[in-house]
Amino acid sequence: MYSKLSVVALAAAASIQEVSAGHVHRHMHPKRDIAYVATETEWITDYVTVTVTEGEEPTSAAVEAAAVEPTTTSPSSIIVPSTTSSTVVAEPTTPTPEPSTPTVSPTTLATSVKTSPVVESPAAVTSETSSTTALPATNIQVAATSSYSTAAASTSAASTSSSSSTGKRGAAYNDASLVSELLNLGGQISWAYNWGSSSGGLVNSVAYYPMLWSSASEHSSDWDSKASAAIAAGSDCLLSFNEPDISTQANMGAADAAAAHIKFMNPYADKARISAPAISSSQNANQGIDWLTQFFTACNGECQVDFCAAHWYGPGGADGAAEFLEHLTNVHTACENKNVWVTEFAAESGSVDDFMSAVVSALESDAYSFVEKYSYFMVSEGSLLDSATSLSSFGKIFAGIA
């Protein structure tokens, strides 16, 4: 899988390059460098080189092959930053992707308001640290009534946890063993994804949702076989491209993304629910919600989209929580009022505990019933976990045990 850490690292690099452009993206497969920037705040991140393997986030070249989320540098390796007690949570690392598994390289984009790390394709990802002010992006997916057959949905739900029928909280991961540990510690996690198309040994009690990181051949060449295998194993939802609005991520224009979505995602309309490409939270032109609007225009009603996916990175505390929730409402509107999946989000400054408490309380309420799923970035040491066997303070809040 790809590790978000590597994604964060890469995102950091991207954010440095795009701070003036918009939010940064950290979810891409292999681990990447994450750059956190906050006004009058300096974050120091230590980077660790890790090998990317299936189950971790890969870089663009290895996303498909590695089926891993944030982690190391290339489809096979990603540099993941580790944070100290005084640093912002870094994305996890990713193991080396399988021969055919792509990995993602992280980058960071920056907006005048937020900073977020960007992840490259599953092939390779490196993490970076940025001192510029920017906010990370988050992934949100919107679920709408889908046209996939009831029979197909029932079958998938039987073999693996059904996405729409289970709880909201999910795990964005690179290391499947850490998801198991999260569950052992009492975490209320019902679904997971790793920015790739293979679960990397995820426990069967958790629903796995494969992602087509980008339309590049290294990710799409075996998409049909991977998607079909996932559906046969119980997956009832498929995730479209990872932050195509960010140059360091899937990097796709709205028109190209629409054409690729129709080609690679539409064929599964009768077998699973399909997300719109996951967008960053950048507020720059041609990025974030603006990109999503252009995508729907380019689709001209031909793209199968049952829900939208989005990412968000920004300040913590009560103010950050309010900003995050407002963003989700805006994504919901841009997604033609379809449900939203927040596949990546994180507070990069201020009190993460206060932020998490406010966010979880809101997302589990009727007021945000349109938010169907949400996963924090990410299930890794230094973020939701303090160690391989213990949850962080905000990890306990997210998992529903504090």
CATH code for the domain of 300: 3.20.20.80
307-327: burial string, b at 16+ Cβ within 10 Å, e else = bbbbbbbbbbbeebbebbbeb
**pLDDT tens-digit series, residues 318-344:** 999 999 999 999 999 999 999 999 999
What tokens appear for 330 in the block? 């805006």
Residue 378: cis peptide before it, omega within 30 degrees of 0 = yes
pLDDT at 124: 34
Percentage of residues of the chain with pLDDT beyond 90:
58
Q: Average pLDDT in the 345-362 region?
A: 98
Place of tokens 């390289």: 105
Whether the per-residue pLDDT at 89 is higher than 70: the answer is: no
**DSSP tag of 287:** S
Residues 90 and 40 in one domain: yes
For 385, residues 6+ apart whose C-beta sits below 8 A from its C-beta are: 178, 181, 182, 379, 391, 392, 395
Query: Over 50: is that where the pLDDT of 178 sits?
Result: yes
Please say which residue of 91, 121, 136 terminates a domain. Answer: 136
pLDDT value at position 388? 94
Task: Name which of 217, 252, 224, 251 is nearest 238 in CA terms.
Answer: 224
| pLDDT tens-digit readout, 192-216 | 999 999 999 999 999 999 999 999 9
User: Do the beta carbons of residue 246 and residue 289 sit within 8 Å?
Assistant: no
Closest CA to 345 of 366, 324, 372, 364: 324
Q: How many percent of the chain have pLDDT more than 70? A: 59
Q: Do residues 125 and 173 both lie within one domain?
A: no
pLDDT tens digit string along 259-286? 999 999 999 999 999 999 999 999 999 9
Compute the distance between CA of residue 100 and CA of residue 110 in angstroms, rounded to an integer. Answer: 32
Residues 254 and 287 in one domain: yes
Q: What is the pLDDT of residue 149?
A: 32
Q: Are residues 114 and 171 in the same domain?
A: no
Same domain, 46 and 144: no
Do residue 48 and residue 187 come from a single domain?
A: no
What is residue 210's three-state secondary structure? coil
Q: In whole angstroms, give the CA distance from residue 139 to residue 380.
A: 18
- Total number of domains constituting the chain: 2
The closest alpha carbon to 189, from 174, 208, 175, belongs to 208
Provide φ and ψ at 50, rounded to 5°: -130, 160
Same domain for 268 and 368?
Answer: yes
d(CA 149, CA 166): 19
Do residues 129 and 186 share a domain? no
Residue 109 has pLDDT above 70, yes or no: no
Boundary (domain end) residue, out of 93, 120, 136 = 136
**Structural domain containing residue 279:** 139-399
Quote the CA–CA distance of 392 and 100 in Å, as a whole number: 34
The rounded distance, in Å, linking the Cα atoms of 258 and 296 is 8
The verdict on 120 and 229 lying in the same domain is no
**Residues 164, 168, 173, 178: is their CA dihedral positive or negative?**
negative
